[in-house]
Amino acid sequence: MGHETAPLDPADWEEFRALGKQIVDDMVDYLAGVRDRPVWQPVPDAVRARLATELPRTGTPMAAVYQDFCESILPYPRGNIHPRFWGWANGSGVPIAAYADLLASVMNCTLGSGENAAMLVERQVIDWLMQAFDWPDTGSGVLTSGCSMGQIIALAAAREARTGGWDVRRDGNLAGPQLTVYGSTETHHSVEKAVELLGIGRTFFRQIPVDEDFRIEVAALREAIREDRAAGFHPLCVVGNVGTVNTGAIDPLEELVALAREAGLWLHLDGAFGAFAYLLPSHRRLLACLNQADSLVFDLHKWLYLPFDVSCVLVNRPDALEAAFSSTADYISRTDRGPAAYEVAFSDRSIEQSRRFRALKVWFALRTHGIDAFADAIAGNIEQIARLTELADASEALEVVSRSRLNIATLRYVWPQGGAQALDQVNREILSQLQVGGLAMPSHTVIDGKFVIRVANNNHRTTTADIEFLVDRIQAIGDRLTRQLPAAPRGDSR
């Protein structure tokens, strides 16, 4: 007896198979040839117009839809899979994980709760990550979409754990004294958003000054906590940075651990990319205290090179997440046997109920390559940044504006007569020419009022030659631009 196909399944599975084979073939070529394409290119107007359509009421053959994808979408990516992409804090994507993402969508499990292998895989992956950081095995964790989500989850756990005198989940923040959270002025804006969303209020995210290396001033932090206590507030949490987004600065972790303990505050660490340097013997001492925090967030889609999105929150107390997020709704309660007889419910560890099987790509990637291969790639990225600063230091036309022990350096083109405004303008133009020309994709930031070219290397495809090419191009474009400036004065005196 033949089976009828469900209306939204392929009418012809063989045709579906053939398209799948074609897609895999094409994508392998696409990945293997990534270096030969521009890092980035603008979406032409004609393509924009093709993408802006009415809601499709009726179907189009899947092969034609795929053709449209190949013509209008695939050639215009963000650029982060390219070997010369070093913008923001994006990862490059290891190919095996793409297969895992396909398999995860085929299985289409949701990982809120349930007794099935997908849930076991996420538990296993979290356990591996805890091992990678020598995290206390009494701790626990959950995978999330990104560190922005992770900050909310971790701060909610902090709030639950450190507001002893009242039931904050039931009665809200206003049932107790005003909560305060502390982090350096270099802290990522996602922490500020988390503080806003948790109803604490942005004013009460106390931004503590940094030293010349962009690390939090611990004495100022201690004083801010003291003042807030004296004012009747309830200091809740210190947020430490393990790699700031601007410059890759690492706060003095040992001192933060000691201060948070002494003052009775939760210590949350944002290790979005930097946490992975813990894998390297060269960085182990610097990051030794990382696993003494109450919570840690890190993105596997940054410096573990996995495709978006996958991130992790770890807490060091077994029930800290459940205390903040567990639910007793009847329709998700456990049964004695079968698919609802689960031990762990990830929906009790975060905000999300429906959750994709993002653990599968971590499982595939770690099993395929082993954590040591990732550590080698991370060490390579750090060495490439060291090469960048070495070359810039050796050049009279380049100034290194910030350095880090991690994978970020900022620099700019300089010349003797360049005033502040002209320097900013020329460096903006250098960056545009690099990006729009599809040559390389660093990003930018502003440090001490200076517009700088920011190179953040979370890229397993980058070679030292790519870095040398970047330095060479910055210098050549800068030389050309400054030659075109009026002879004297070539700057201004802002």
Ligand X SMILES: Cc1ncc(COP(=O)(O)O)c(C=O)c1O
328, 345 contact by CB (below 8 A):
no
| Residue 456 Cβ vs ligand X, minimum distance, rounded to whole Å | 8
Q: Which listed range, 14-22, 158-166, 209-217, 241-249, lies at the site for ligand X (CB under 6 A)?
A: 241-249
| Residue 122 Cβ vs ligand X, minimum distance, rounded to whole Å | 18
Name the residue whose CB lies closest to ligand X: 146
Q: Which listed range, 28-36, 142-150, 376-384, 398-406, lies at the site for ligand X (CB under 6 A)?
A: 142-150
Q: How many CA atoms lie within 13 A of 90 on its CB side?
A: 20
| Residue 61 Cβ vs ligand X, minimum distance, rounded to whole Å | 37
Structure tokens at 303: 């410096």
- What lies within 8 Å, CB to CB, of 262 at 6+ separation is none
Q: Is 144 in the site for ligand X (CB under 6 A)?
A: no
Tell me whether residue 140 or residue 145 sits nearer to ligand X (CB atom): 145
Q: Note the Cα 6 to chain centre separation in Å.
A: 39
- What lies within 8 Å, CB to CB, of 113 at 6+ separation is 119, 332, 340, 342, 344, 345, 346, 347, 348
Q: Which listed range, 143-151, 229-237, 326-334, 402-410, lies at the site for ligand X (CB under 6 A)?
A: 143-151
| Residue 373 Cβ vs ligand X, minimum distance, rounded to whole Å | 23
Q: Which helix (H) or strand (E) holds 108?
A: none
**Phi-psi group of 491: left, alpha or beta (phi > 0 → left; psi -120 to 50 → alpha; rest → beta):** beta
| Residue 418 Cβ vs ligand X, minimum distance, rounded to whole Å | 30
CA distance linking residue 423 with residue 421, whole number of Å: 5
| Residue 329 Cβ vs ligand X, minimum distance, rounded to whole Å | 28
Place of tokens 């949490």: 237
Tell me whether residue 114 or residue 146 sits nearer to ligand X (CB atom): 146
Q: Is 270 in the site for ligand X (CB under 6 A)?
A: yes
Q: Is 410 in the site for ligand X (CB under 6 A)?
A: no
Pairing between β-strand 179-184 and β-strand 205-208 as defined by DSSP bridges: parallel
Q: Note the Cα 213 to chain centre separation in Å.
A: 22
| Residue 300 Cβ vs ligand X, minimum distance, rounded to whole Å | 10
Tell me whether residue 195 or residue 471 sits nearer to ligand X (CB atom): 195
CA distance linking residue 59 with residue 146, whole number of Å: 34
Structure tokens at 241: 């940075």
Q: Is 381 in the site for ligand X (CB under 6 A)?
A: no
| Residue 188 Cβ vs ligand X, minimum distance, rounded to whole Å | 3
Q: Is 311 in the site for ligand X (CB under 6 A)?
A: yes
| Residue 90 Cβ vs ligand X, minimum distance, rounded to whole Å | 8
Nearest to 106 by CA among 118, 94, 115: 118
Nearest to 407 by CA among 281, 283, 290, 288: 283
Tell me whether residue 190 or residue 389 sits nearer to ligand X (CB atom): 190
Tell me whether residue 228 or residue 299 sits nearer to ligand X (CB atom): 299
Measure Cα distances from 403 to 124, 246, 294, 382 in Å.
36, 10, 28, 11
Place of tokens 């990678």: 132
Q: Is 482 in the site for ligand X (CB under 6 A)?
A: no
Q: Which listed range, 19-27, 207-215, 243-251, 260-268, lies at the site for ligand X (CB under 6 A)?
A: 243-251
Measure Cα distances from 106 to 99, 109, 360, 423 in Å.
11, 9, 12, 52
Q: Which helix (H) or strand (E) holds 147?
A: helix 147-161
| Residue 207 Cβ vs ligand X, minimum distance, rounded to whole Å | 15
Beta-bridge partners for 299 = 311
Residues 77-96 within binding reach of ligand X (CB under 6 A): 88-89
Tell me whether residue 275 or residue 477 sits nearer to ligand X (CB atom): 275
Structure tokens at 368: 């395929």
Q: Is 251 in the site for ligand X (CB under 6 A)?
A: no
Q: Is 408 in the site for ligand X (CB under 6 A)?
A: no
Integer-rounded Cα radius of gyration of the chain: 25
| Residue 279 Cβ vs ligand X, minimum distance, rounded to whole Å | 18
| Residue 248 Cβ vs ligand X, minimum distance, rounded to whole Å | 9
- Site for ligand X (CB under 6 A): how many residues? 14
Among 80, 113, 148, 292, binds ligand X (CB under 6 A): 148
Q: Which listed range, 40-48, 238-246, 312-320, 360-368, lies at the site for ligand X (CB under 6 A)?
A: 238-246
Q: Is 299 in the site for ligand X (CB under 6 A)?
A: yes
Residues 177-236 within binding reach of ligand X (CB under 6 A): 188, 190
Among 245, 256, 259, 365, binds ligand X (CB under 6 A): 245
Give the count of beta carbons closer than 10 Å to the beta carbon of residue 134: 12
| Residue 56 Cβ vs ligand X, minimum distance, rounded to whole Å | 31
Q: Which listed range, 32-40, 97-105, 145-153, 391-399, lies at the site for ligand X (CB under 6 A)?
A: 145-153
Pairing between β-strand 179-184 and β-strand 234-241 as defined by DSSP bridges: parallel
CA distance linking residue 209 with residue 196, whole number of Å: 20
- What lies within 8 Å, CB to CB, of 402 at 6+ separation is 214, 246, 247, 248, 408, 409, 410, 447, 452
Tell me whether residue 299 or residue 424 sits nearer to ligand X (CB atom): 299
Q: Is 147 in the site for ligand X (CB under 6 A)?
A: yes
Q: Is 146 in the site for ligand X (CB under 6 A)?
A: yes
Binding site for ligand X (CB under 6 A): 88-89, 146-148, 188, 190, 243-245, 270, 272, 299, 311
